[in-house]
Structure 1
């Protein structure tokens, strides 16, 4: 572990991604060393392969790497939240563990943050050239259209795993399973601005996707109703000390 407190924590949730762990860790260090003081927080969601053993082995050669392990499988949103809770930096970057997000985009998100209004607390990646199957791209386009109509979050791509956000603002948000798919709407509900930033997207080179289109759709419909209810019931009150 690095001795100095980092200014950026990179949180990566993983489940059965043993062949993608080492390449992605090395890409993160290549993108960020000399750019910003950082740490990498991997959260293993009780993988059934040897992902955890691979991560333990990498700790010896990557001093920035920390590893959190779920004793029981809990899902991606819980893994992200536990990684954020464990993080030591005030700003968080997230990446999917499958390697399809490009760590080289993190400095771009940091540059967007540095030039943005102080009220902007989330910088969401936008996969303008998705490298997924046609069925997955179609399902995502359909889901994004419905979400945008219901939530009016002005975000073209909420499913992109690469995001940059303020840790404190994230921990203020209501927590529920699958919340990571609705971060722009939830941040806006909390009174913060959000920005979408075009990023690179890559083919998966190892392993298989842990999700299917029907499963995403069924969960998404239920969650959309819940998030819409949260937004409708939300209330912001300005305060001042006298």
Structure 2
């Protein structure tokens, strides 16, 4: 398989019913981008997810599967995928089918148009399905935006495209995926945003509840605030090229006195 221009990382846990439909949607959406690879990271599934992934992989050389022996969380799954990715750009998309892969090309285009100084193109959902879920997101995003001043309306959207080398600079912790705009900016790179539309889940059940979205995030928010405050200056390092030292002139040979 040729070297991919884009690696699409899909973290999943117990999403057997969503595997094949989402793989086919990703393939169709990214058909014009060139060579791609799809990296599914199975975060310790206990249903038929491994079997569904194996069946999908049998006819797709561009589909790779990474499996966590035990569930480690979404951020850990994204990190495993990004570390294994072979492309310079990494797209992330939730494995439950609610993120629409049709927006991936727009995210790629926005990142490339912004130039090498931009590290992340982040999707921002224009609406959420369900009043309670929308209220949770509005409160959590409002608090985060006020504390971090990251200029992002919605960081909970799983649709993102990030430069792989920039992602690997970020400090890793659980829930990293929810604070990527602020942490990318912390490293001195720009962030652009693309409006996306979420969809209802077709199969499976949500892995997040009220505690995950609101209360647990307070400690993570405090930690990210501390990380940003502790960044004093962005180090831009480059190796100094070696300069050949001039060869010292040899002293003239002493002449023997004439006899």
TM-score (norm 1): 0.96
- Structure 1 position 72, deviation (Å): 1.1
Matches within 5 A, 1:166-181: 166-181=163-178
- Structure 1 position 241, deviation (Å): 5.0
TM-score (norm 2): 0.90
1:165 aligns with 2:165: no
Q: Name 1:221's counterpart in structure 2.
A: 218
State the alpha-carbon separation in 2 of the partners of residues 72 and 103 from structure 1: 27
- Structure 1 position 112, deviation (Å): 1.0
Q: Which consecutive residues of structure 1, in runs of 5 or more, have no partner in the other structure?
A: none
Return 230-239 or 198-207, whichever deviates more.
Answer: 230-239
- Structure 1 position 115, deviation (Å): 1.6
Q: Which runs of 4+ in 1 moved over 6 A?
A: none
Instruction: Note the aligned Cα RMSD (angstroms).
Output: 1.1
Q: Name 1:63's counterpart in structure 2.
A: 61
Q: Which consecutive residues of structure 2, in runs of 5 or more, have no partner in the other structure?
A: 241-259
Q: Name 1:116's counterpart in structure 2.
A: 114
State the alpha-carbon separation in 1 of the partners of residues 224 and 138 from structure 2: 19
- Structure 1 position 86, deviation (Å): 0.6
Return 35-44 or 208-217, whichever deviates more.
Answer: 208-217
Q: Name 2:134's counterpart in structure 1.
A: 137
Conserved in 2, the CA contact under 8 Å of 1:156 and 1:196? Answer: no
State the alpha-carbon separation in 2 of the partners of residues 22 and 170 from structure 1: 28
Q: Name 1:53's counterpart in structure 2.
A: 51
Q: Residue deviations 1:174-232, cap 9 Å, x none?
A: 00011110000000001111011111211111111011022321210010000000000
Q: Name 1:88's counterpart in structure 2.
A: 86
Matches within 5 A, 1:99-114: 99-114=97-112
Return 52-61 or 38-47, whichever deviates more.
Answer: 52-61
State the alpha-carbon separation in 2 of the partners of residues 57 and 160 from structure 1: 28
State the alpha-carbon separation in 1 of the partners of residues 227 and 13 from structure 2: 29
Q: Residue deviations 1:34-85, cap 9 Å, x none?
A: 4321000000001010101100110112221100000111000000000000
State the alpha-carbon separation in 1 of the partners of residues 13 and 106 from structure 2: 27
Q: Residue deviations 1:146-173, cap 9 Å, x none?
A: 0001101000010000000000100011
Out of 200, 203, 226, the residue aligned to residue 203 of structure 1 is 200
Q: Give the total of aligned pairs.
A: 239
Partner of 1:194: helix, strand, or coil? Answer: strand
Q: Name 2:77's counterpart in structure 1.
A: 79
State the alpha-carbon separation in 2 of the partners of residues 200 and 63 from structure 1: 30
